[in-house]
Amino acid sequence: MHWADVAAQALAHKSDTHVVSTGITPSGEFHIGHLREILTGDMIARAAKDAGLSVDFVFIIDSADPLRKVYDFLGPEYEQFVGHQLGAIPAPKSDGNPDWERFQNEGWTYANHFLEPFLKALEEIGVRPRLIDNLESYRSGRFAELSKIACDRADDIREAIERISSRELPDGWFPWSPLNSRGGLDKVRVTGYEFPLVHWEDEYGESGSSDITKGEGKLPWRIDWPAKWAWIGVTCEAFGKDHGAAGGSYSTGREIVQLLGHEPPHPLVYEWISLKGQGAMSSSAGNTIGPIEALRLVPPEILRLLVAKSKPNKAIEFDTGMGLVTLADEFERLAARDFQHELTNEELSRRQKVQIEDAAGAMKMATVVSGQKAEATAVTFRHLALLAQTKKNDSDVWTSLQASGALEEITPQLQDRLTRMRYWIQSEHFPNEMRIDILTEPNTTILETLDEVERRILNSLMMTLKTCEWNASAIGASIPQSAKDLDESPRSAFKVAYAAMMGTEKGPRLAPILAEMDREEILRLLEACVQVIEK
């Protein structure tokens, strides 16, 4: 049983109606690490619906959270907004400073700026939750009743946080953070409370009152989170391992939500997605690749498979090079399998059956449209990468595939993949070991390093390729044969071939590359190389 189906089964034991929630703070550029949370929630919601449950899948935008600091991608003018709520300050322009004109004319906020491209990526990847804006929820009074309970039970909540988290809250702590005289949440001290007003003084020498019912402030995070569970009615939520640690915000939240009169949701803790060789992704540190960028490289179902095939408690290393090629080819292999037929084999061991069921479940969750069956394209990403580099025109790619018998018709799915492949090849993410760079002119420096035997092999290679059939098999046999004809080592022939055609000592397999290129162009290059060494 797939991990999402296991979660759905646990929910089914509790009720027939559920609210699955995920959320995010739009403090900077979103990266694919953020996709793990919302895709985990989406897959649980999909599995629960498949199980016959009534499910509302929500995505909470934590726009009421404050700007923590002036990040590297922001200009110095944002210093005035540190501590201000993300949904109440201007979005940055290209120079990193506030876009006052758009903020005043359109109400375009910092939160909008970073959220919009993420929502576009979600649409493309097949995730369509109900959006809940946290700042608007505070301002419209959604939190008012629960905030009153929290303020009335301030001592109980304080005791719970200190006991569970093993940390002491500061003197004057209160379960409501008022906006200060400058509109921020920092540098303010609560001096009194009588619902709906929380009275305060700030470090600027000003004092005032915060109206809870109008959202003139917010609950601190450890209370805000369980309050959202309560008013939205959340019954299941996926969250990162930092929140799930002992004494963390889920530990305190599950007790606080009961103080507020509600039950905690079913938890699903997930591990991080990291970039290969670079560690955990961080928007503020610049160690990231955004979901839009990732979707330019590969189709959305490939990114969905990345999350679907890994249990949430397993860390994922995202590799935009060969790892992504391997993942894409894995998708093709899985899409071509008939899992139902495989499961009819009565000789399967329990372990084999579980592996097949897990693979089938992952592919079910990888599809962009729920219930749609994944279709194999019969063209691996490795081969498509080769064709995209050796054929300048898309029509030549399709002609090659049809001539080889690998393709009968050009589908929109294949055209989409070729478009993404061409972008990937031009990007910094494409793996060097797959990059094809056949020379158009001889590399004199490399050719001058060839010894007398290797120079003779070069001439033999040119003559051999002139007469062989122009396909991968024949070319693959002709390269070593050019050395054997001179009673020399076949290894020397490959060294010579790479030197002449790629200007390197080694590289990707030459035969399938040359087979996709114009024979006369390759022979002209070899003739030019022979002329160089004969001078």
9-39 pLDDT, tens digit per residue, is: 999 999 999 999 999 999 998 888 888 999 9
pLDDT, tens digit, for every residue of 427-442? 988 988 888 989 999 9
* pLDDT over 80 (residue 282): no
From the number of C-beta atoms within 10 Å of its C-beta (0-12, 13-18, 19+), residue 478 rates as: buried
- In sequence order, the β-bridge partners of residue 17 are 54
Name the pairing type of β-strands 197-202 and 188-194. antiparallel
Q: What is the pLDDT of residue 409?
A: 85
Q: Please, are residues 454 and 500 in contact by the beta-carbon 8 Å criterion?
A: no
Q: Which domains does the chain have, with CATH numbers?
A: 381-434 (no CATH), 444-534 (1.10.10.350)
pLDDT value, residue 30? 87
- The residue ranking higher by pLDDT, 474 or 284, is 474
**In the numeric block, which tokens belong to residue 450?**
């060839």
Q: What's residue 377's pLDDT?
A: 84
Average pLDDT of span 171-195: 96
**pLDDT at position 317:** 87
**pLDDT average, residue stretch 341-346:** 93
pTM, entire model? 0.89
* Local structure of 448: helix, strand or coil: coil
Q: Residue 25: what pLDDT? A: 94
The tokens 């003739």 sit on which residue?
A: 527
For residue 287, pLDDT beyond 60: no
Q: What percent of the chain has pLDDT over 90?
A: 81
pLDDT at 214: 97
pLDDT over 70 (residue 286) = no
Strand duo 279-280 + 273-275: pairing:
antiparallel
| Cα(105)–Cα(223) distance, integer angstroms | 34
Contact by Cβ (8 Å): 462, 530: yes
Q: What residue type is 304 in one-letter code?
A: R
Neighbours of 108 (CB within 10 A): 16
- CA 424, CA 431: separation in Å to the nearest integer? 9
Could you tell me how many residues make up the chain?
Answer: 535
